[in-house]
Amino acid sequence: MWPIDCIAHKRDGLVLPKEEIERFIDDYVHGRVADYQAAAWCMAVYLKGMTEEEIADLTLAMAHSGDMVDLSPLAGIPVDKHSTGGIADTTTLIVAPLVAAAGVPVAKMSGRGLGFTGGTIDKLEAIPGFRTTLTEDEFLHQVQNIGMAIMSQSADIAPADKLLYALRDATATVESLPLIASSIMSKKIAAGAKAIVLDVKYGEGAFMKTKEDARHLAHTMVRIGHLVGRPTHAVISSMEAPLGTAIGNSLEVDEAIEALSGKGGRRLMEVVLAIGSQMLILGGKAKDDADARHQLQELIDSRKGLAVFKAFVKAQGGSYTWIGKRPLTKAGQAYTPVCTDAGWISAVDGRGLGEIAMSMGAGRACKEDSIDPMVGIRLYKELGDPVRPGEPLFTLYGKSDADLPALAQQAADLITVTPQEPEHIDPVVSEIIT
């Protein structure tokens, strides 16, 4: 008896045929499978797992549950990137113009953020006048003209994933490898990607807590990408400390512009170059990693990536004359405490800093919250840097009525200075899976 059979098959550990997976997803989206049945099915998947073929079938079934964006009018191979989410991660705003400048079309649909700071769309909306809503024609024309466009998701992308994710959240089935992998990959495929680069992060501030779990998820998604004909590479990166030095939306735009001007932080640029090179390779514009990195460095040194960023902001109606001249951030007040000790930065609690930035208004605790684009934290030191007494550690940017000295005390407690240099710091990028 349908759909009970399908639940029972997975409960008993059987491998589900493609037709059964497709029918289950289609029936669920059309209300012919009840929420409690889909919830039982998710729990069965959680407990019994799925083969890679089943995950690939589930991915395609979810991708086809709504609109499929057609990027075939674009010349070249559109490569998308996805990050499993981190703190001070403004990689997209740096990588997209660099890769576009190298000739790989970037036609990206992004979301708003829920959590410590905004998503890419929230960051772009910190730029006065910037339009994140484009028609499909405008979107494609812009990519053809200047190489890139980023718009907020307008199409009805993977509605099956939206429904299932809400159920999983309420039924302790979020942490299921087949369900996570199909959720992420189905959205990229529906958004039109022909190839995909994933940044799978691990650590305290990340969705996957351990490197082993991150590697496992990455390997699964890379295999699924190949099975569904969308070549996929993955970068494994550490979230044991914030990636960049800016936490907050306009601050992250400022950091992206600095990076495109050759002044990017060490940790951030490690990830930018790793993701960017894999995008050039998959987009057919570089023959290997060394060639790709050489091209990306040249596009930074020549400011050609920065020029594409400026053209992109202009094309989407944003104010752009300030770019390269002054920061975008202008909060009500700023406060910069100095370091009292000499030593080395041996730990930075990114999650804690993210929570402070969120309490100041940089992120959303729930979907309805609004964001203040100007507030946040700018760090002057990275994990492993030496510090001397009297050196500034960070600046807090807040609303005019915020108690910044008190918040600064909390933030300073999250940055550990030790008299000895830390013996071992994980490289940010530990592996690239192809």
Write down the catalytic residue from 10, 64, 82, 233: 82
Which member of 89, 161, 254, 372 is catalytic?
A: 161
Work out how close the CB of 180 gets to Ca ion at its nearest, in angstroms, rounded to a whole number. 11
Residue with tokens 């091209």: 295
Q: Does 207 participate in binding Ca ion (rule CB under 5 A)?
A: yes
Strands 106-110 and 148-152: parallel
Residue 214 is a binding residue for ligand URA (CB under 6 A): no
CB 198 within 8 Å of CB 183:
no
> 76: closest CA among 280, 278, 222, 351?
280
Pairing, β 106-110 against β 386-387:
unpaired
Three-class secondary structure of residue 75 per DSSP: coil
Active-site annotation holds for 168: yes
Of 178-186, 215-223, 246-254, 286-294, the window that binds ligand URA (rule: CB under 6 A) is 178-186
Cβ proximity to ligand URA: between 165 and 380 the closer is 165
Task: Respond yes or no: is residue 226 known to be catalytic.
Answer: no
Q: Which is nearer to ligand URA, 193 or 308 (CB)?
A: 193
> What's the angle, vertex CA 300, arms to CA 299 and CA 302, rounded to 5?
65
Residue from 9, 81, 187, 194 carrying the catalytic annotation? 187
Residue 402 near residue 333 (C-beta atoms within 8 A): yes
Q: Binding of ligand URA at residue 184 (CB under 6 A)?
A: yes
Hey, which residues between 68 and 97 contact Ca ion (CB under 5 A)? 85
Determine if 46 is a binding residue for ligand URA (CB under 6 A).
Answer: no
Is 83 annotated as catalytic?
Answer: no
Instruction: Note whether 20 and 6 are within 8 A (CB).
Output: yes
By CB under 5 A, residue 130 contacts Ca ion? no
Annotation says 82 is catalytic: yes
Q: Residue 186, interface with ligand URA (CB under 6 A)? A: no
- Nearest approach, Cβ of 45 to ligand URA (angstroms)? 12
* Residues comprising the chain, all counted: 434
Q: Which amino acid is at 73?
A: P
Considering only CA atoms, which of 229, 130, 128, 139 is closest in space to residue 185? 229
> What sign does the CA torsion over 235, 241, 246, 248 have?
positive
Write out the two tokens for 56.
Answer: 């690939």
Can 216 be counted among the known catalytic residues? no
Say if residues 67 and 42 touch (Cβ distance below 8 Å).
no
Smaller CB separation from ligand URA, 38 or 179: 179
Q: Which of 106, 180, 217, 396 binds ligand URA (CB under 6 A)?
A: 180
- Residue 147: name its binding partner from ligand URA, Ca ion, none (Cβ under 5 to 8 Å by kind): none
* Per annotation, catalytic residue among 168, 188, 267, 285: 168
Query: Cα angle at 372 between 312 and 376, to 5 degrees?
Result: 90
Least CB distance from residue 164 to ligand URA, whole Å? 8
Q: Of the candidates 142, 183, 329, 346, which one interacts with ligand URA according to CB under 6 A?
A: 183
Q: Known catalytic residues?
A: 82, 161, 168, 183, 187
Binding site for ligand URA (CB under 6 A): 165, 179-180, 183-184, 207
Binding site for Ca ion (CB under 5 A): 85, 207
